[in-house]
Every structure is written in structure tokens, then in C-alpha cells.
Amino acid sequence: MTDNEQEHPGGDDTQPEPTAEQLAEMDRDQLVRLGTNLDGVQIEEYPDPWPVKGTKAEKRAERLISTWFVVSAIAGLAFVVALIWWPWRYKYPGTDGHFLYTLYTPVLGVTLGVAILALAIGIILYTKKFIPHEVAVQQRHDGQSSEVDRSTIVAQLADAGNRSTIARRSAIKRSAGLGAGVLGLGAVALPVASFIKDPWNNEAEEDSLASTGWRKQSADETVYLRRNTGDPEEISLVRPEDLDAGALETVFPYRESEKDDPKALLEALRRADNPVMLFRLRPEDTANVQERKGQEDFHYGSYYAYTKICSHVGCPVSLYEQRKNVVLCPCHQSQFDVLSYCKPVFGPATRALAQLPITVNEEGYFVARHDFVEAVGPGYWERRS
């Protein structure tokens, strides 16, 4: 048997495969017939979806599909606009813009969902209305596709596209391209938006990651330690006698300038890097304390203050084992030894919790001497520690 007379699996065993020169001379219809014969395909029905051209029903179907593609484009464009220009900064309840802020995520979800859904509906309708629904029977066979298979399948796909009349339906092509293009633009806008939006562009502090709400705005400013009572406008300052031996309390910064400013009072409680754990060690444990080099005077007697933000990925360190003097992060089980400047003793965290320098002022209240000397929370590439 010669190369030109190789049997085609699943086809007619007596029909030789054409040569490359013969394939090049065939038109698309001949390639389609050859492909179906060699594949052992018998087409039982191949009806034209619209045997009578230009009917009102055909035009109506075309307009319906184009409408869905246009809806997809409009929704995709709305998604891009909302992603970049919708008010996304946090607004406090009761302030101007809070309602629009609460709609930011729902608007993104609805517009993106509608864009994808409308595009999918348009594709499904086009498949149902214009793609010929043939009935064919094919004998299955195994083996790698030959050159003939590769040539004929291209012709079959082109024939299917031609029979679907997509070439002459410019409205559907343009609207489908518009919908898919805008949706693709939305996919590109998602990562790009993070470079457009700067969460610190309205901040006076140039290096916001390196400072917290405990930073003094002036040398003579006093930053108190304040507990959260559940009422953001209630000011409850902390005295040494308020904590029992072995106690832990979460505190936040407070300034006299915030006294009559509900927004500033609430912001101090909500800022992510503000929560601090204030410990009062038991008398028998104070002799076992190991101070961190350069921070030996950051505590006040048996009172120590450390950030509540885990140095692993920023979860709240909030579980305190009083007998072991260990605080635990519930997210990934990192443990920090309070008697050893809250250095990690278990889990994925590798850095000690930042310590806040504290003292007691002449009024008897706890105050922060200054801000943390290192960035709190997870590390980032600009950090100096």
C-alpha cells in the first residue's frame, strides 16, 4: 500500500487519502464533503434556519440579539466607569456621600454581572436562531488527526460560519464585538484601577504606612489611651488603677482636639492600625520580663502596650492566655510572648509586635509618649526593620 492509499480510520477503507496537491486544488465545499466522508459522517438533516430570507421574524431575531450585545456593552462600560469614578472612599454613617459609598460594591457586582449575562444570552440566542441544527451520525474512531483531517476541519468550520449567515449580519457582528470588547476593557480595568486610585492622596502624612493614629501632630500634643465603650462619642480614658493584675484591655488614641468632633472620634476607633493591647503584668511575672534592645523605657511599671495587629498578615491578635503570658492570633495561630517584648514563639509570624511607648501624665491618665518606632502589621518593601 502506497502513502497515497493509506486507509483512513473510521472511513471508507477503499478510498485513498488525497495528496497535499489535491487538497490545495479543492474548494471549501469539496473539502467539506471529503471531511464528512473520511470521518464516517452521514448528515441526515441540515436545514436552513431561515429558508425565506429577509422576513420580519428574521429581522426581529437579529435585532433582539444585537440588543443583548448592546446591553452587554453598556453594562460593561458602566462597570468600568463605576470601578474608577464611583465614590469608593469610606464615608461615616449620617455624613454626605455615605449612601453612595454603600452602593459601590453592589454597583460593581450588578454591572459586571449584567455585562456577562447579556453577552451570554446574545451568544445563546444567535446559536439557536442562526446556526444550522443539523442531524448527523458519525462512527467513532481513535488515532491522531492527519493532514487531511486538519484541512477538512477548517473547511467545515468555515462552512458552518457561512451557513449561519454571520458574514452578512453586520449589526450582530458589531454589537457582539462591542460587548465583548467593553467586557475585555473591564477585565483590564480591574488590575489597572489599583494604580489609578491612591488611598493616601488626601492625606497630609507623606508616609502613611510608617505612622499611625498615635503620631503626635505637634510636640506639645497629648495622645491619651482611650477605651472603646461601644459609643464612639463617649470618651473613657484609662488610669493605671483601672486594670487588675494580669488584665488586658484594648485601647485607642484620643486627642483633646477630637472632643467635639464625632467624625474624628469614630475614625480613631476605626483606623486599622490604631488598636493597641494594654497589659498589666502580675507581680510575680515582672521579674521575668525581657526588654527589647532600645525599648527598655517603653513601658510604665508593670504596664506594657503592644499593637493588636499581627505581624504575619494583619489579623487582630486578641486571644490572651493569662497564665502563660501569651497572646494568640486566631487566623493562623501565631503566638507572642508578652514577657519577651511580644516576640513570636509559635506559628508563621516572624516579627515581634510593635511596642507603643507609654507613660502616665500629671492627671493620672495613660498617654503615648510618641508613635511606634516601626511599622505595625505585616512587612512591606519600604520598611526599615
pLDDT digit string (tens) for the chain, length 385 residues: 344 444 444 444 445 778 878 878 888 777 777 777 776 677 667 677 887 888 899 899 999 999 999 999 999 999 999 998 898 887 777 778 889 999 999 999 999 999 999 999 999 999 888 887 777 676 665 655 566 666 667 676 676 666 666 666 787 778 888 888 888 887 787 777 767 666 555 554 555 677 899 999 888 999 999 999 989 899 999 999 999 999 999 999 999 999 989 889 988 998 889 999 999 999 999 999 999 999 999 999 999 999 999 999 999 998 999 999 999 999 999 999 999 999 999 999 999 999 999 999 999 999 999 999 988 988 765 555 4
Rounded CA-CA distance 269/118 in Å is 43
Same domain, 236 and 357: yes
Same domain, 276 and 338: yes
**End-of-domain residue from the set 171, 196, 221:** 196
Q: Residue 7 half-sphere exposure, CB side, CA atoms within 13 Å?
A: 8
Answer yes or no: is 23 within a domain: no
Q: What is the pTM of this model?
A: 0.57
Query: 33-72 burial by CB neighbour count: b if 16+ within 10 A, else e?
Result: bbbbebbbbeeeeeeeeeeeeeeeebeebbeebbbbbbbb
Same domain, 336 and 219: yes
**pLDDT at res. 140:** 62
Q: Which of 215, 265, 216, 208 is nearest to 236 (CA)?
A: 265
Same domain, 228 and 301: yes
Answer yes or no: is 25 within a domain: no
Same domain, 174 and 295: no
Q: State which amino acid sits at residue 343.
A: K
**pLDDT at res. 381:** 56
Answer yes or no: is 108 within a domain: yes
Same domain, 184 and 269: no
**pLDDT at res. 172:** 79
Rounded CA-CA distance 289/276 in Å is 19
**pLDDT at res. 291:** 93
Answer yes or no: is 46 within a domain: no
**pLDDT at res. 288:** 92
Q: State which amino acid sits at residue 253.
A: P
CB 224 within 8 Å of CB 237? yes
Same domain, 250 and 344: yes
Q: 226: domain CATH number?
A: 2.102.10.10
Give the contacts of 282 (CB within 8 A, at least 6 positions apart).
Answer: 245, 246, 302
CB 307 within 8 Å of CB 377? yes
Answer yes or no: is 22 within a domain: no
Same domain, 159 and 228: no
Same domain, 70 and 215: no
Number of domains composing the chain: 2
**pLDDT at res. 5:** 42
CB 15 within 8 Å of CB 22? no
**pLDDT at res. 45:** 72
Answer yes or no: is 204 within a domain: no
Same domain, 223 and 352: yes
Answer yes or no: is 18 within a domain: no
Same domain, 220 and 342: yes
Same domain, 187 and 326: no
Answer yes or no: is 3 within a domain: no
**pLDDT at res. 163:** 67
CB 309 within 8 Å of CB 272? yes
CB 182 within 8 Å of CB 111? no
Rounded CA-CA distance 295/300 in Å is 12
Q: Which domain holds residue 300?
A: 211-368
Q: Which of 362, 219, 373 is nearest to 306 (CA)?
A: 373
